[in-house]
Structure 1
Amino acid sequence: MSKKNTLDDQDVSLFREAIAGARPIKQDTIRLHSPAIKQKAQIREIRETQQALHYFSDEYEPLLNQDGPVKYCRADVSTYEVKKLRRGDYIPDMMLDLHGLTQQQAKSELAALIEACRRQHIRCACVMHGHGKNILKQRIPLWLAQHPDVMAFHQAPKLWGGDAAILVLIEQNI
């Protein structure tokens, strides 16, 4: 047998007196539909790529060595790092192939590569620009030298593409 809690008339009248001036609560909660997690990640990646693009200028031309293989070393980085890149001591963990891309597309992909390397804690990457008409081959070192996260770069050894590729050493801000 189930017991029902029944209130006597006196309890009911006391309760009604206590809540005499009360009004029903109005539902005022607003439920927003937040974008899906994937969509948020895509938006973040686009924003980071656009922010990274502002490092690359076509007007600025850093002073790079024109003799021999293309190489660069930031002022606060040891030249020994460039030597290690040249010898192939660093193995690239990420590759970027820019064959067939326009300068603007290549610039965007290069910014995305550097940001992806930083996010995934990758220290060395290989950028393959190919031979072609030497447009990307000339522009990529100029763009890389402008980016603050690029510590050094050197023409890749034969194993990683020779004079059609560049090994890039990327700073890790942990």
Structure 2
Amino acid sequence: MTSDSDLFQDALGQLGDVRPLARERREKRVALKKDSAVELNRHMRREAATRETAAELNPLAGEFAEPVDPWDPLEFKRDGVQNGVYRNLRLGKYRVDARLDLHRHTVEMARRAVFEFVRDCVEADVRCALITHGKGEGRAQPALLKSCVNCWLPQLHEVLAFHSAQKQHGGLGATYILLRKSERKRQDNLEKHQRRNR
């Protein structure tokens, strides 16, 4: 049985005068020294990788948000949320179990805070929460954080619905959010229903 190596050698023999290519010899090697430019480049790459990792962990779109008027109410409801449930949220009838105040936050700080707040609320089985963002009235960029919250919340799968708050909770400068049940809470409810049906 002929191996691939033997077949290759036979093919080379049939070609006639076949010689290996001469390798270039490098006589001088350049010794690279670590200088501040190399270290700076490494530091910048590390920071970029950290930002990319943070962006992967936080799916919220960063900078641009469709502008909202300071006096416009925010409203959003996913398919499947019952109208009565949404009406109760809008009217502030659910107990607010967690609050986040975004005053004095930059857009990037607010983006991180909103993402972490929603994640923490779901882990703690909070169903209704309140985000205070202000109206942003009379600013160079009016309603900036309000516009961002309006843009970010629908991007989060855990947010079922949201609506501008009632006057006693901050009015148009705050937003109620209705959150999905955590997986643990869903399992608990499923077990309770199964016990009742036995």
Give the TM-score, by structure 1 length.
Answer: 0.63
Give the secondary-structure state (helix, strand or coil) at the position aligned to 2:175.
Answer: strand
Aligned-CA RMSD value: 2.4
Q: What CA distance in whole angstroms lies between the structure 2 residues aligned with 1:147 and 1:52?
A: 12
Stretches of structure 2 lacking an aligned partner (at least 5 in a row) = 1-53, 137-141, 184-198
Among candidates 53, 61, 81, match of residue 58 of structure 2: 53
Q: 1:76: how far off?
A: 2.2
* Percentage of pairs with the same residue: 30
Among candidates 117, 120, 125, match of residue 124 of structure 2: 120
Give the secondary-structure state (helix, strand or coil) at the position aligned to 2:61.
Answer: coil
Give the secondary-structure state (helix, strand or coil) at the position aligned to 1:88.
Answer: coil
Q: Which structure shows the higher helix fraction?
A: 2
* 8 Å CA contact retained: 1:81, 1:152: no
Q: 1:170: how far off?
A: 0.7
What letter is aligned with 2:93? D
Q: What CA distance in whole angstroms lies between the structure 1 residues aligned with 2:99 and 2:167?
A: 15
Aligned length: 122
* 8 Å CA contact retained: 1:129, 1:137: yes
Q: Please tell me whether residue 156 in structure 1 is matched to residue 156 in structure 2.
A: no
Q: Please tell me whether residue 74 in structure 1 is matched to residue 70 in structure 2.
A: no
**CA deviations over 1:13-72 (Å, ceiling 9, x no partner):** xxxxxxxxxxxxxxxxxxxxxxxxxxxxxxxxxxxx866511x1248879x9xx952110
What letter is aligned with 1:172? K
Stretches of structure 1 lacking an aligned partner (at least 5 in a row) = 1-48
Q: Please tell me whether residue 88 in structure 1 is matched to residue 92 in structure 2.
A: yes
Q: What CA distance in whole angstroms lies between the structure 2 residues aligned with 1:78 and 1:60?
A: 31
Q: What CA distance in whole angstroms lies between the structure 1 residues aligned with 2:143 and 2:116?
A: 22
Where does residue 171 of structure 1 map in the other structure? 180
Q: What CA distance in whole angstroms lies between the structure 2 residues aligned with 1:59 and 1:101?
A: 14
